[in-house]
Structure 1
Amino acid sequence: MAGGVLSFPLTSFRDDGSLDLDSYRTYLTAQVATAPGAVFPACGTGEFSALDEDEYRAVVEAAVDVADGRLPVVAGIQARAYATVGVPAVHAFAPEIADACFTALRDGDNAAVSKLLCDFCIPLVELRDRAPGYAVCLVKAAARRRGLPVGPVRAPLTDPCPADLADLEQIPDAGLNLVGAIRRRTA
């Protein structure tokens, strides 16, 4: 699992709140293509608390099917405990930013780490802390903004307010711009 950023995929729902496994498989296929170290389906950003047992089983089974032995799929109590200790959910909507963070930390690129923290991570955490549930809601909103088929959040969560969505629009763009600058600098 130490080979790359860990993926905590979002769970896809339809507008009526029902589980959308076809969209989930499409989304997860894109996540797996970025070669994360492991996939943790139905954890914090996967809205574990909103899934019933059959839905949870279906989400995990779909993840195992999509991963097809190419990387570990970690599920169950151990995975949920790991997800709640504060592992960033950035890979769920911007794997290139998560990879840049991981690479900069691994390689000791302190300048890149500092820029990513100041211009992307801290603003995202500050926005996340504005309202309960935003750890999932913002990630899902950012994923939808990038055209990923993850659908809405499920009750009791609600989408961020318009002002927070406007703030959210700037944060991933800043992160992606930093990734481009880091890649140009290290090329």
Structure 2
Amino acid sequence: MTEPLQTAARLRERMAAGVLSFPLTSFTEDGEFDPGSFRAYLRGQLDANPAAVFAACGTGEFFSLTLDEYSEVVRITVEEAAGRVPVIAGVGYGWAIAAQYASRAAEAGADGLLLMPHYLVKAPMDGLVEQVRKVAEATPLPLIAYQRDYVSFDAAAVGLLAKIPNVIGLKDGHGDLDQLQRLRLTAPESFLFFNGVATAEMQARAYASIGIPAYSSAVHAFAPEISKAFFTALHAGEQSRVDDLLRGFYQPFVELRDRRAGYAVSLVKAAARLRGLPVGPVRAPLSEPTPEELTTLKALLAAGLDLV
């Protein structure tokens, strides 16, 4: 079995047993990267035994990291994971810059890459496929494409992506289950799919109904207990328990998240700080929740922890 297929097989096996962790990146109050705090925070994430760790991705504020900061984030994640779980590093922007990040990720020991949407422009389908191809050709690492915002692949495009030797899967951030079913049926069985919408637990049952049970969990970044309780209930078919968690925590969290752009990260980081986790503030262009929203978030977090 080739290395990309080995990585895909390992991810598939682990995704059946846990959620995908997207850790936050720790900053000082002055906005500088804080490697010591990040290492301490990351240990807590790993102790919760996620299926895999996706370092320096959206929740980790990849878009605000310098290339050197990025290298250190990935290196620390690989060191702390110590082979226990796969480490997937985010890459993005145009393909030429993404290739530079991919090179740094390989040097740091990452097991694979998550290719986030390119910057600024809408592109035709053949251009979207070529963007993935150019990055894949520039790295030996297996690569997962991420469709969200203005990146959306059709079935023919996914068929082409699956033929690129080291492209092993697709993270979906759109939530269009009809289209996603078409993509899944087009791709080979070995091709990975997972639910990557914001607060993915809200749609986890729907994704599972079309054969995509794996999902990323932003809640894991601040409350692994809640994330794990939901995953366990979902996979055990405990529908009333799932409903209780959705009704008592996830749905009101999403309603708070939807108040302002960027809160899919800002609220997660604020919740982590409320739990005493050393993650610091968000960087611009994100902004912090208001004092009133923090009060609501604190009560909501307490309610979620009470449920589990």
Instruction: Indicate the residue corresponding to 1:185 in structure 2.
Output: none
Of 251, 259, 284, 1:155 maps to 284
Q: Tell me how far apart the structure 2 counterparts of residues 23 and 54 of structure 1 sit (CA, whole Å).
A: 17
**More divergent stretch after superposition (159-168 vs 101-110):** 159-168
TM (norm. structure 2) is 0.56
2:302 paired with 1:173: yes
Instruction: Indicate the residue corresponding to 1:54 in structure 2.
Output: 68
What are structure 2's unaligned runs of at least 5 residues?
A: 1-13, 92-112, 117-145, 147-170, 174-195, 198-215
Q: Is the 8 A contact 1:44 1:83 kept in 2?
A: no
Q: Give the root-mean-square deviation of aligned CA atoms.
A: 1.3
Q: Tell me how far apart the structure 2 counterparts of residues 27 and 172 of structure 1 sit (CA, whole Å).
A: 18
Q: Secondary structure at the match of 1:75?
A: strand
TM (norm. structure 1) is 0.91
Deviation string, structure 1 residues 92-151 (Cα, Å, up to 9, x no partner): 000000000100000000011000011111101110000011011101011001000001
Once the two structures are superposed, the pairs formed by residues 55-74 of structure 1 within 5 Å of their partners are: 55-74=69-88
2:48 paired with 1:34: yes
Instruction: Indicate the residue corresponding to 2:209 in structure 1.
Output: none
Once the two structures are superposed, the pairs formed by residues 17-166 of structure 1 within 5 Å of their partners are: 17-77=31-91, 78-79=113-114, 80=116, 81=146, 82=171, 84=173, 85-86=196-197, 87-166=216-295
Q: Tell me how far apart the structure 1 counterparts of residues 44 and 299 of structure 2 sit (CA, whole Å).
A: 23
* Higher relative contact order (CA closer than 8 Å, sequence separation 6+): 1
Instruction: Indicate the residue corresponding to 1:184 in structure 2.
Output: none
- How far has the Cα of 1:6 moved from its partner? 1.3
More strand by share: 2
**More divergent stretch after superposition (121-130 vs 78-87):** 78-87
Q: Tell me how far apart the structure 1 counterparts of residues 292 and 63 of structure 2 sit (CA, whole Å).
A: 26
What are structure 1's unaligned runs of at least 5 residues?
A: 180-187
Q: Tell me how far apart the structure 2 counterparts of residues 149 and 23 of structure 1 sit (CA, whole Å).
A: 5
- How far has the Cα of 1:76 moved from its partner? 3.2
- How far has the Cα of 1:156 moved from its partner? 1.4
Q: Tell me how far apart the structure 1 counterparts of residues 217 and 250 of structure 2 sit (CA, whole Å).
A: 9
Q: Tell me how far apart the structure 2 counterparts of residues 40 and 171 of structure 1 sit (CA, whole Å).
A: 26
Aligned length, in residue pairs: 179
Letter in 2 for 1:95: P
Q: Secondary structure at the match of 1:39?
A: strand
Instruction: Indicate the residue corresponding to 2:19 in structure 1.
Output: 5
More helix by share: 1
Name the % identity. Answer: 56
Deviation string, structure 1 residues 127-181 (Cα, Å, up to 9, x no partner): 00000110111010110010000011111111101111111111111111111xx
